[in-house]
Amino acid sequence: MFERRKRYGVSAILGVVALGACLAAASGGRAGAQAVGEPVQLAQVDPLAKFLRGIFGGGRTKRREIPREPARSTTRRTEPAVPQVEVKPKDDDARVVLVLGDSIAAGLAKGLDEAFAEDSTIRIDSISDGSSGLVREDHFDWPGKIDELIGEEGRRINVIIMSVGVNDRQRMRTGGERHQFRSPEWETRYKARITHILDSVTNRAIPIVWVGLPPTSVNKTSNDFLYLNGFFRDGVEDRGMTFVDIWTNFLDENERYSAYGPDVAGQRRLLRRRDGVNFTRAGSRKLAFYVERQIRRLIGSGTLVLLPGLTGQDSGPDPRVTGIGRIVDLTGPIAASGGQLAGGPDEQPFKKDEDSAYQQVVVDGNALPLVGGKPADWTAAADAAEKAAGGEAKAN
């Protein structure tokens, strides 16, 4: 049985080879039968090779093609252009706001420059180190640096703005010891460095505004920043100084972190950088908005807003020396000539005007007359109702 199957197999192979030879001969005959001078034909597929591939397989395998993803759009979200701000030259005796701290402080200083760009009486100075904090004194010693600055002869500092903490989520080294972040030993030494700074500026009677850390794109970092803000707030407020809490000002309507939000003009802009911590230019300007209010409260503004009828003439000592703001003569329309108070010998008799709004409202205490067409003018409706009632009475 085995020998018979073997003979059949050999015969089948020989038959296939013979058939292939016949096909090759036929193909070669057709190729050789091409007469001289006829157009050259393109080479055809070898029928023997095609026949054998059909039986035994082989040949080229089809390349597996992976479907490509559609190209991503490279169009970026466009925002309104941030207007350029030209900072006005400052007076020689301008009051100095000194901004100190890390990378957030550097952006804040630029935002404050824009905020006080038109005020020649307030100058923004800054000293910042993006990698600094209150933990690594071997890299940058802020308590020692502040002692040096406020003790420097001839340096004028009217307000200090402090913003640190971004780089303080790490171990603290003191001598040969290492203290883990959030450990009791770490807390004790961190509070001591805050206290050192606050005591130094308090002894020099320099007001300080401490700016809290913002929320971030990472929950763990945000929790650590809230932890640090507690130390800043307690130390500052215990001394009656100012802590600026910016946390909720950089959350969305659902009280979550968002890189976008309204700027100082109310337009939606990108406020935070890709790291989820620092601010863009628009974000730094918004941050400066909340600090600016505290600066103006502490040292006032060089821009004086006058009430109608006031002359705006300054009197008394220079507010840059006293730090208590401007003193304005309240010389209204009834002041005598030459700047004398009313009742002086050169005063002209005051002519009473019975028809003036001043006389009727301020002196006589009457209400202002209603203007027709206003929502508060109920007289027209009352007159119309009265006329309608009179017409019905006549008809009856």
Is 259 a domain residue? yes
Whether 218 and 321 share a structural domain: no
pLDDT of residue 255: 94
Residue where a domain terminates, one of 281, 314, 333: 333
Comparing 157 with 391, which gets the higher pLDDT? Answer: 157
Mean pLDDT of the chain: 77
Judged against a pLDDT cut of 90, whether residue 300 lies above it is answered with: no
pLDDT of residue 314: 46
Whether 329 and 290 share a structural domain: no
Biggest distance spanned by C-alpha atoms of the chain: 152
Total domains, the chain: 2
Is 277 a domain residue? yes
Judged against a pLDDT cut of 70, whether residue 146 lies above it is answered with: yes
Whether 222 and 310 share a structural domain: no
Residues 97/123, Cβ–Cβ less than 8 Å:
yes
Is 185 a domain residue? yes
Whether 199 and 329 share a structural domain: no
Whether 178 and 274 share a structural domain: yes
Judged against a pLDDT cut of 60, whether residue 375 lies above it is answered with: no
**Token couple for 202:** 């308090």
Whether 318 and 186 share a structural domain: no
Is 36 a domain residue? no
pLDDT of residue 63: 53
Buried b (16+ CB within 10 A) or exposed e, 51-83: ebeeeeeeeeeeeeeeeeeeeeeeeeeeeeeee
**Token couple for 346:** 């050169």
Judged against a pLDDT cut of 80, whether residue 61 lies above it is answered with: no
What is the reported pTM? 0.59
Is 393 a domain residue? no
Q: How confident is the model over 194-207, as a mean pLDDT? A: 95
Q: How many CB atoms are located within 10 Å of the residue 167 CB? A: 18
**Token couple for 185:** 């030993």
**Token couple for 107:** 């952006």
Whether 144 and 288 share a structural domain: yes
Residues 84/56, Cβ–Cβ less than 8 Å:
no
What CATH number does the domain containing 268 carry?
3.40.50.1110
Residues 172/227, Cβ–Cβ less than 8 Å:
no
Judged against a pLDDT cut of 70, whether residue 345 lies above it is answered with: no
Is 78 a domain residue? no
Whether 327 and 276 share a structural domain: no
**Token couple for 69:** 């993803």
Whether 143 and 254 share a structural domain: yes
Whether 260 and 321 share a structural domain: no
CA pair distance 186, 169, nearest whole angstrom: 11
pLDDT one-digit tens code per residue, 4-21: 555 555 565 666 556 655
CA pair distance 113, 262, nearest whole angstrom: 20
Structural domain span for residue 329: 306-333
Beta bridge partners of 251: 257
pLDDT one-digit tens code per residue, 160-177: 999 999 999 999 998 889
Whether 215 and 328 share a structural domain: no
pLDDT one-digit tens code per residue, 230-269: 999 999 999 999 999 999 999 999 999 999 999 999 999 9
Whether 205 and 315 share a structural domain: no
Is 183 a domain residue? yes
Comparing 396 with 144, which gets the higher pLDDT? Answer: 144
**Which three-class secondary structure state does DSSP give residue 89?**
coil
Alpha carbon of residue 287 to chain centroid: 7
**Which three-class secondary structure state does DSSP give residue 320?**
helix
Amino acid (one-letter) located at 22:
C
Is 293 a domain residue? yes
CA angle at 212 for the pair 266 and 156, rounded to the nearest 5°: 95
